A and B are shown apart, each in its own frame.
Chain A
């Protein structure tokens, strides 16, 4: 069965601190996709990143970086020099592709609520 675990329910940091959000997943499939979404107080889910199971290269986008480790089934997300605008709920998700081009349903973790205080 597929499962995504975000053990951190809430994290509170002070602006400019670095913060890492943990994500651990379970799947029996060899081909799968991992995602991170941000849900700000406005409520809309915003896509941040997709990573496929064959690409373990870490990715950096501005202050955001992601560390994918198949050996530990983890896909952690780090925000460097956090800002108040980063306050949101962050969801990690897993999907199995239906075919080469199309992804299937997302299995979400429970989310981590990040609060960045000035």
Chain B
């Protein structure tokens, strides 16, 4: 079946602009995660959605970051007023039980 998909694959933006990154999880997976991979920080957890429960936002680095998951499926990660330090690969994963399956990521470059 189809895996986790993310769009766009690459995004270049100017400092101060807002960006939206999209994640389509594997059908039927109830849990969805966002992570960020950057050279200096490695792989970091950002936010986690599980069913209808309140999301775990404990990894979001600032209030410029937010995420939604509509209808228990597609998720959008929004970064407002982007900064150069936001440049990274943003990874989405979904799971049904304990194995998280990752998408190909969105490479964000903030100029």
Contacts and interface: CB of A to CB of B under 8 A. Distances in A.
Nearest to B33: A105
Nearest to B102: A45
Contact of A105 (B56, B102, B105): B56
Contacts of B100: 35, 47, 103, 106
Interface stretch (A64-72, A80-88, A107-115): A107-115
B101 to A, nearest CB: 7
B42 A102 contact: no
Interface in B14-69: 30-31, 33, 35, 42-45, 48, 50, 56, 59
Interface residues on B, range: 20 to 34
Interface residues of A, number: 26
Contacts, number: 61
Nearest to B41: A110
A44 B95 contact: no
B98 interface: yes
A63 interface: no
A62 interface: no
Interface string B100-111: 111111000000
Contact of B91 (A45, A47, A50, A105): A45
Interface of B: 30-31, 33, 35, 42-45, 48, 50, 56, 59, 89, 91, 93, 95, 97-105
For the complex of A and B, 4 pairs with smallest distance between CB atoms: A103-B98, A108-B43, A45-B102, A105-B45
